[in-house]
A and B are shown apart, each in its own frame.
Chain A
Amino acid sequence: MEFFFQQLTNGLAIGGIYALVALGYTMVYGVLKLINFAHGDLFTLGAYLGFTLLTTFTFQEKIGPLPTIFIFGIIIMGLVGIAGIVLERVAYRPLRSADRLAAVVSALGASIVISNSIMLIYGARFQVYPHDLLPQITLSIFGMKVPFLRIAILFLSIVLMVILYLFIQKTKIGTAIRATAIDHGAARLMGIDVNKIISIVFFIGPALGGAAGFMVGLYYGELNFMMGWVYGLKAFIAAVIGGIGNIPGAMLGGLLLGVIESLGAAYISTAWKDAIAFFVLIIILIVRPTGILGERVADKI
């Protein structure tokens, strides 16, 4: 029981991270119908920026570790968000009217550029976060010990998701984003600046991805310039499982994938851990070709 509970909470924490990254994929897909293959590398960028901030500034002693991490988190979200806007301007906007696969190749090119820039700046070997950063607190839930960080990651990712959900559903900009996702032309006729909305989406998505990268850095402590690929791919699977383009779907898909993967690795086989996500994906898509919460689109004739 103890073992199961540990795996479950671990899966939920990883799932929260997948969900945050998946939101970036799903939002971009929603407005541009483009798989942003460079999104995983923006996640890596977030993790590395966290590394730089933590090793450069040392005012942790003055204000305590938690506020420091909070401030760094905000900075990282802003910087990675700006990187996202630049990415869209440079690599995707010129291709908006072109064939969709041309944009996919451009996205793959952008992914190579970002990950290799990170490699050239930080080096190809693993980097390690300062490990005496957070006090090793364990919380006791139902008599079982759970690391504080795990709960914090799950909690924070849910908070960010709820904020995003409210932003999309309740604010004017959120409504404009939804309108743009449905029809660019109609949105423009309603007076929405579609380019601006796309830039906003390319700020929010990567900002959440960057935050997730920072969380992974804090959780595992180890960074590699290629790490974004694995997380990006898993998060993309999560988005597809939930129904790509659908924001609650990405959250559900992320958490579900995290839990299934964690339990699968623990009870079935560790060696097949990375394949579990793909098996889940294929099974779900065979049963529901547009994902769990995805709408079934009728053929237009």
Chain B
Amino acid sequence: MNKKYVIGMICILFFSTPLFLNPYWVDVLNNIGIYAILALSLNFILGDTGLFHMGHAAFFAIGAYTTAILNTFYHIPIILLIPVSGIAAAIFAYIVARPIIHLRGDYLLIVTIGIVEIVRIALINNVFEITGGSNGIFGISRPNLFGLIIRKPIHFFYYIWIFLGISVILFYRLRHSRFGRALNFIKEDEIAAEGTGVNIVRYKLIAFVIGAFWAGMVGNIYASKMTIISPESFTFWESVVYFCIVILGGSGSIIGVIVGSFLLIGLPELFREFAQARLLIFGLAMIIMMIFRPQGIIPPEPRRYNIKSLIED
């Protein structure tokens, strides 16, 4: 029980921090939150299911553009578009993942890189004449939550971090459900899982679609936070960042992924005075961290099962 109190205290302390920080640092925390949610949704695919997926920015982009287009053309409120963006990204994920889901490890990795690049190039080329080309789309409205317009960094802080809290609960529950155990089985031994009757193609696809659905909803939050989006925000490098957050933080570990977001997104802010050499330090840190902690900063706890209760059943 003690552990729960400690976590509760940390949460309360954390949620009061924006009251003491200036807007710039609140905005940094907001970015960390957005990356953390994206990394959590990728973690479900990469960490829990073991699919090498390096194209998560594509689903994020689909969500953000769905919101931007429907909001600027048809003036649909942002809040209503949250599930719509998620569904759009999920449908897209299903269509692109269906033919490639049987690919193994590194082959899947390169194809997912291909997907994010094709999406970015399609956005730049102004596909269907609705994406605004390389300039992107501007004039996206702010979320209006029962009359309260979410506009300032501090508003977005609570908006994003509460969404992150919901994500943590959802992915925690999913991981420890029957479905999550099947995914874990696929990750550990695909052939054995198939032999035991787990429909691996179906399970992998569902994992992909859920991850994409969540990334699409984050796209909505991002679009309304920035009010302007362009293809530059959805490059292959973005996907690499999410990928590194998951692996550095601890693949499969929810706390690890959140800590990873703080490190990869927050830490470079502290090194801002180094300006040009900042990325160099960043790259070096990635190598060093992997050498000293190849399993990630906080690897997931091994699953525990109450054997007694299983026997009594």
Hey, which bits of chain A sit against chain B, CB under 8 A? Answer: 29, 35, 90-91, 94-95, 98-106, 108-113, 116-117, 119-120, 233, 236-237, 240, 244, 271-272, 274-275, 278-279, 281-282, 285-286, 289-290, 299-301
- Once the chains bind, are B287 and A278 in contact (CB under 8 Å)? no
Using Cβ atoms and an 8 Å threshold, which residues of chain A touch B290? 95, 98, 102-103, 105-106, 109
- Once the chains bind, are B291 and A94 in contact (CB under 8 Å)? yes
Using Cβ atoms and an 8 Å threshold, which residues of chain A touch B125? 271-272
Q: Give the interface segment out of B30-38, B102-110, B139-147.
A: B102-110
Task: Confirm or deny: B280 has a beta carbon within 8 angstroms of a beta carbon on chain A.
Answer: yes
One digit per residue, 1 when the CB lies within 8 angstroms of any chain A CB and 0 when it does not, for chain B 75-94 equals 00000000000000000000
**Knowing A35-B106, A278-B117 touch, does A301 contact B287 (C-beta < 8 A)?**
no
- Once the chains bind, are B247 and A285 in contact (CB under 8 Å)? no
* CB nearest neighbor in A for B296: A102
A-B contact sample (6 more), CB < 8 A, given A95-B294, A109-B290, A112-B283: A99-B251, A105-B248, A110-B287, A119-B276, A120-B280, A285-B100
Interface set, chain B 100-128, CB cutoff 8 A to A: 100, 102-107, 109-111, 113-115, 117-118, 121-122, 124-125
Using Cβ atoms and an 8 Å threshold, which residues of chain A touch B277? 116, 120
Partner of A282 from the list B111, B284, B287 (CB cut-off 8 Å) is: B111
Using Cβ atoms and an 8 Å threshold, which residues of chain A touch B110? 236-237, 240, 281
Interface set, chain B 189-214, CB cutoff 8 A to A: 191, 195
- Once the chains bind, are B294 and A285 in contact (CB under 8 Å)? no
- Once the chains bind, are B280 and A117 in contact (CB under 8 Å)? yes
**Knowing A102-B294, A272-B121 touch, does A113 contact B106 (C-beta < 8 A)?**
no
Interface of chain B, main secondary structure: helix
**Knowing A35-B106, A99-B294 touch, does A109 contact B52 (C-beta < 8 A)?**
no
Number of A-B contacts (CB under 8 A): 123
Give the bracket for the number of chain B residues in contact with chain A. 35 or more
B308 to chain A, nearest CB (A): 32
Hey, which bits of chain B sit against chain A, CB under 8 A? Answer: 46, 52, 99-100, 102-107, 109-111, 113-115, 117-118, 121-122, 124-125, 191, 195, 236, 240, 243-244, 247-248, 251, 276-277, 279-280, 282-287, 290-291, 294-295
- Once the chains bind, are B294 and A112 in contact (CB under 8 Å)? no
**Knowing A90-B287, A299-B191 touch, does A108 contact B111 (C-beta < 8 A)?**
no
**Residue from B52, B115, B243, B291 whose CB has the most chain A CB atoms within 10 Å:** B291
- Once the chains bind, are A108 and B286 in contact (CB under 8 Å)? yes
Using Cβ atoms and an 8 Å threshold, which residues of chain A touch B103? 285, 289
Q: Could you name 7 residue pairs across A and B whose Cβ atoms are closer than 8 Å?
A: A101-B46, A104-B247, A106-B286, A116-B280, A278-B115, A281-B110, A282-B99
Partner of A120 from the list B114, B117, B276 (CB cut-off 8 Å) is: B276
Partner of A113 from the list B109, B121, B280 (CB cut-off 8 Å) is: B280
A110 to B288, CA, bound (A): 10
A102 to B246, CA, bound (A): 10
**Residue from B124, B236, B276, B287 whose CB has the most chain A CB atoms within 10 Å:** B287
- Once the chains bind, are A101 and B247 in contact (CB under 8 Å)? yes
Partner of B121 from the list A237, A244, A275 (CB cut-off 8 Å) is: A275
* CB nearest neighbor in B for A98: B294
A136 to B121, CA, bound (A): 35
* CB nearest neighbor in A for B102: A289
- Once the chains bind, are A112 and B117 in contact (CB under 8 Å)? no
**Knowing A99-B295, A112-B282 touch, does A286 contact B100 (C-beta < 8 A)?**
yes
Using Cβ atoms and an 8 Å threshold, which residues of chain B touch A111? 283
A298 to chain B, nearest CB (A): 11
Partner of B113 from the list A98, A117, A119, A233 (CB cut-off 8 Å) is: A233
A236 to B107, CA, bound (A): 11
- Once the chains bind, are A274 and B100 in contact (CB under 8 Å)? no
Using Cβ atoms and an 8 Å threshold, which residues of chain A touch B279? 112, 116
A281 to B55, CA, bound (A): 15
- Once the chains bind, are B114 and A113 in contact (CB under 8 Å)? no
* CB nearest neighbor in A for B240: A108
Using Cβ atoms and an 8 Å threshold, which residues of chain A touch B105? 100
A24 to chain B, nearest CB (A): 15
Using Cβ atoms and an 8 Å threshold, which residues of chain A touch B109? 35
